[in-house]
């Protein structure tokens, strides 16, 4: 939640005389300057000097007395310290940071939270409708909807001068036309940016195709009609003062789940990297990530903060996308370019690759020729799952199909899923797949469609749970009680589905309905569902028994999460910021001690 929205204090007084980072227990308080009272559940971030071993930043939260503690913090003269809480701003006060042997940070209330609030805040105040759902589900696939760049563009549209003089009504109608055409232009441009999901070296790029192909809605993740819906909705609801947002217009909407023991560690990746996902391995101490932009696999050591990079053993671009561990410690990786799917052995540091390309795909330099190998079958832990015949099931975005791979024999097969009238294959945006506990059924989601159940014995879709346009069923995971949990990306909800009956059991509203929940993760130990969001710079924890939701705010703006993993040994949450295009937001891995 916006460290660039608060002032940073250099702790020279606290660490004077230190020439290198030193480990120590570091404590302090956060006090309200306006009333002298402690500020509970304030976020406090310690930013490490460049080159410091371990995380680049550590964030903790204050207790009821406003106290915070960093255990074993590495501190030096140029270490930065900042406090933040929605509705407050940090101020520097005399006496400075050091009082009575402990560091004191001061906050005061602020009426304008425009530079603190997440991107979702600008849509939380906009009218709820199917058009809003479509806008969020379509635009938030790659970037935050309501991001600073979007707000800047909206402000520039409003700054356009001209139109009829002397007639207020005619001028307002003229402005509506200007806004509509401006957003139509952006929608066309964003169609071309579908090619930015591919690696830098990809042969499938804008230089290889003509303009009509680049903006062809049938080769995009959203349809022609959805594009027009987006343009109309943004023109009518996303304008006005973008540098002002009242504290009364947005709130987190639910209690914070953080405690004084909650700790968020952030590890930097290169700014041009796009590590979409980060997972722990059950067999080694590292965190593993897929860098889709640079064709690399990342191995992050959370103790040292060092990252080792492994190229994919393939002559050409691959685009590592989804990464999943198995029980033996292998990493399975889907790749969105050149139809590749791979297994990486961390012990031998060797790859095994398979090609998954349906025979009906044409040879074409555009997305028309791409299978887009996407997600693979997982179990209730997010680990790789195989069916009763030993096959892995994989979603193919480009063809709206389920693919199967038998790793031992190398046998590959492809099967059609449900289709929706008016949608091309890629328009369906088939996404996640989860295997039932008995290994017979592979459930899949379509962001622009439904949730289906594929019988791996009969090779037929046997159940279909339908959702309205704009709902956006995205990443899913099952628990061990026969429920399938589904992130509803467009409507800001989570659904539970009875896997035996094939029906929705319950739908849970998230506190911020514009948060764009990208993925859900079942936590067996805590009996909770973790929700990764694209737009709200936060993580949600859902208690299925009570339906209660708590909020875990993140330390950055543009904190776009695409997946959360639960560490099998420590229970820590593992994630990464994954903004498209590369460099448009923070590029960091996350390791979170929940604090419960």
Let me know: does 442 contact 393? Beta carbons within 8 Å: yes
pLDDT in tens, 267-317: 999 999 999 999 999 999 999 999 999 999 999 999 999 999 999 999 999
pTM over 0.85: yes
Let me know: does 533 contact 561? Beta carbons within 8 Å: yes
Beta pairing, strands 483-488 & 573-576: unpaired
CA distances 121 to 246, 561, 581, Å, are 10, 17, 22
**What CA dihedral angle connects 515, 178, 113 and 270, to 10 degrees?**
60
Q: Looking up tokens 């024999």, which residue turns up?
A: 409
pLDDT in tens, 432-487: 999 999 999 999 999 999 999 999 999 999 999 999 999 999 999 999 999 999 99
Structure confidence at residue 10 (pLDDT):
40
Let me know: does 396 contact 243? Beta carbons within 8 Å: no
DSSP state of 384: B
Beta pairing, strands 565-566 & 549-553: unpaired
Structure confidence at residue 560 (pLDDT):
97
pLDDT band at residue 73 using 50, 70 and 90 as cut-offs? confident
Structure confidence at residue 19 (pLDDT):
39
pLDDT in tens, 506-526: 999 999 999 999 999 999 999
Structure confidence at residue 5 (pLDDT):
36
Please report the DSSP string for 151-219 in residue order: HHHHHHHHT---S-SS-HHHHHHHHHHHHHHHHHHHHHHHHHGGGGGS-TT-SSSGGGS-HHHHT-GGG
Q: Looking up tokens 């892995």, which residue turns up?
A: 392
* pLDDT above 90 as % of the chain: 87
SS (H, E, C) 536-576: CCEEEEECCCCCCEEEEECCCCCCCECCCEECCCCCCEEEE
162, pLDDT greater than 50: yes
Distance between CA atoms of 478 and 497, rounded to whole angstroms?
9
Helices 224-237/130-139 angle, 10° precision? 110
pLDDT in tens, 259-278: 999 999 999 999 999 999 99
pLDDT in tens, 528-572: 999 999 999 999 999 999 999 999 999 999 999 999 999 999 999
């Amino acid at each position: 939640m916006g460290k660039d929205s608060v002032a940073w204090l250099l702790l020279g007084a606290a660490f004077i005389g230190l020439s290198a980072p030193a480990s120590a227990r570091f404590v302090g308080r956060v006090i309200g300057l306006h009333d002298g009272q402690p500020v509970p559940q304030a976020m406090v971030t310690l930013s490490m000097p460049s080159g410091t071993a371990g995380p680049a930043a550590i964030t903790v939260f204050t207790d009821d007395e406003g106290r915070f503690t960093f255990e074993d913090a590495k501190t030096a003269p140029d270490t930065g310290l900042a406090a933040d809480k929605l509705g407050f701003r940090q101020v520097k006060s005399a006496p400075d940071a050091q009082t009575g042997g402990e560091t004191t940070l001061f906050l005061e209330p602020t009426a304008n939270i425009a530079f603190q609030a997440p991107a979702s805040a600008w849509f939380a105040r906009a009218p709820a409708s199917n058009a809003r759902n479509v806008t969020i589900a379509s635009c938030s696939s790659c970037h935050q909807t309501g991001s600073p760049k979007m707000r800047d563009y909206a402000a520039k549209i409003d700054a356009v001068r001209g139109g009829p003089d002397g007639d207020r009504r005619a001028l307002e109608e003229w402005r509506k036309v200007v806004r509509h055409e401006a957003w139509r232009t952006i929608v066309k441009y964003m169609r071309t940016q579908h090619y930015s999901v591919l690696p830098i070296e990809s042969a499938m790029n804008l230089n290889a195709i003509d303009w009509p192909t680049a903006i062809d809605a049938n080769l995009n993740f959203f349809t022609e009609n959805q594009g027009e819906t987006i343009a109309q909705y943004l023109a009518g609801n996303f304008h006005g003062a973008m540098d002002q947002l009242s504290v009364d217009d947005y709130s987190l909407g639910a209690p914070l789940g953080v405690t004084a023991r909650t700790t968020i560690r952030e590890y930097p990746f290169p700014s041009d990297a796009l590590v979409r996902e980060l997972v722990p391995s059950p067999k080694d101490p590292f965190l593993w990530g897929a860098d889709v932009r640079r064709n690399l696999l990342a191995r992050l050591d959370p103790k040292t903060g060092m990252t080792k990079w492994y190229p994919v053993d393939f002559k050409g671009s691959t685009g590592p996308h989804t990464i999943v561990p198995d029980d033996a410690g292998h990493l399975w990786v889907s790749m969105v370019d050149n139809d590749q799917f791979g297994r990486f052995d961390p012990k031998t540091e060797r790859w095994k690759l398979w090609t998954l390309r349906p025979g009906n795909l044409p040879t074409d330099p555009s997305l028309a020729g791409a299978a887009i190998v996407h997600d693979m079958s997982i179990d209730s832990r997010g680990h790789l799952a195989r069916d009763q015949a030993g096959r892995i099931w994989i979603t193919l975005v480009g063809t709206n199909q389920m693919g199967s791979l038998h790793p031992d024999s190398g046998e590959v097969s492809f099967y059609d899923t449900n289709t929706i009238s008016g949608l091309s294959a890629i328009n369906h945006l088939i996404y996640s797949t989860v295997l039932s506990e008995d290994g017979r059924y592979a459930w899949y989601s379509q962001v622009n469609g439904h949730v289906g159940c594929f019988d791996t014995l009969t090779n037929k879709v046997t159940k279909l749970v339908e959702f309205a346009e704009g709902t956006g069923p995205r990443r899913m995971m099952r628990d061990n009680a026969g429920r399938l949990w589904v992130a509803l990306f467009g409507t800001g909800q989570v659904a539970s589905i009875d896997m035996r009956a094939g029906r929705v059991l319950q739908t849970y509203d998230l506190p911020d309905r514009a948060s764009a929940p990208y993925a859900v993760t079942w936590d067996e130990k805590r009996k909770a569902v973790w929700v990764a969001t694209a737009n709200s710079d936060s993580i949600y924890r859902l208690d299925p028994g009570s339906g209660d939701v708590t909020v875990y705010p993140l330390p950055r703006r543009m904190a776009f999460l695409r997946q959360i993993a639960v560490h099998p040994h420590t229970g820590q949450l593992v994630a990464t910021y994954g903004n498209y295009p590369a460099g448009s937001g923070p590029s960091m891995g996350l390791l979170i001690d929940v604090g419960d």
